[in-house]
Amino acid sequence: MTWKPSQDVIEVQRGPDPGGLGGAYRAFGETLRGLRTTFGRLVEGPVTMEYPENKTPVYPRFRGRHKLHRFEDTGLEKCVGCSLCAAACPAECIRVVAAENTPDNQVSAGERYAAVYEINMTRCIFCGYCELACPFDAITMGNDYELADYTRSDLIFTKEMLLADPVERTPLRREGE
């Protein structure tokens, strides 16, 4: 039903009366239509993705487990321990303790580095604000979403775990897929 602004009264169109012989005839017809619909699904076959064996690919911008990065050429950590990610985090799940770089212990490219970098995955809401806040692109969101574990303490990810090459468990969706 289309309504024009010039119309004062909206005419309501109702369906046919459900009772009576006509109603019974229509109900029978609709039943057959429903049976045809379900039979169509039987013919088409299942659309199930059998999860642990086959995984639905994620989009490139999917926000999964975090990754910390190093410079590829020097191998130094990108993170300088500025704690901007911790400040941006709405769930307050990031803990950063910074320390000074010394000439014989040069960990990051800047003056300071993160001596402790922990993300509490039980609290993280995967909003990606840490990634946005980071001035050096040191932390990004990865693709991995299989984070289940048995104890809560196992879900506090340390710097070593975040810096390690991530296990590529999740297939990535190609462009335009």
Site residues (vs other proteins, CB under 8 A): 24, 31, 34-35, 37-39, 41-42, 44-48, 50
Shortest Cβ distance from residue 41 to other proteins (Å)? Answer: 5
Q: Which is nearer to other proteins, 25 or 59 (CB)?
A: 25
Q: Which is nearer to other proteins, 9 or 47 (CB)?
A: 47
Minimal distance in Å, beta carbon 47 to other proteins?
5
The CA angle 114-116-119, to the nearest 5 degrees, is 105
Shortest Å, Cβ 142 to other proteins: 29
Query: Which of left, alpha, beta for 142 (phi over 0: left; psi -120 to 50: alpha)?
Result: beta
Q: For the CA atoms of the chain, what is the radius of gyration? A: 28
The CA distance from 172 to 64, in Å, is: 12
Joined tokens for residue 22: 């006509």
Sign of CA dihedral 51, 56, 121, 110: positive
Query: How far apart, in whole angstroms, are the C-alpha atoms of residue 168 and residue 81?
Result: 27
- The distance between the two most distant Cα atoms of the chain, rounded to a whole number of Å, is 94
Q: How far is the CB of 17 from other proteins (least distance, A)?
A: 14
What SS3 class is residue 20? helix
**Least CB distance to other proteins at residue 51 (A):** 11
Give whichever of 37 and 153 is closer to other proteins, judged by the CB atom: 37
Nearer to other proteins among residue 56 and residue 151 (C-beta):
56
Q: Which CB atom, from 24 or from 87, has the smaller least distance to other proteins?
A: 24
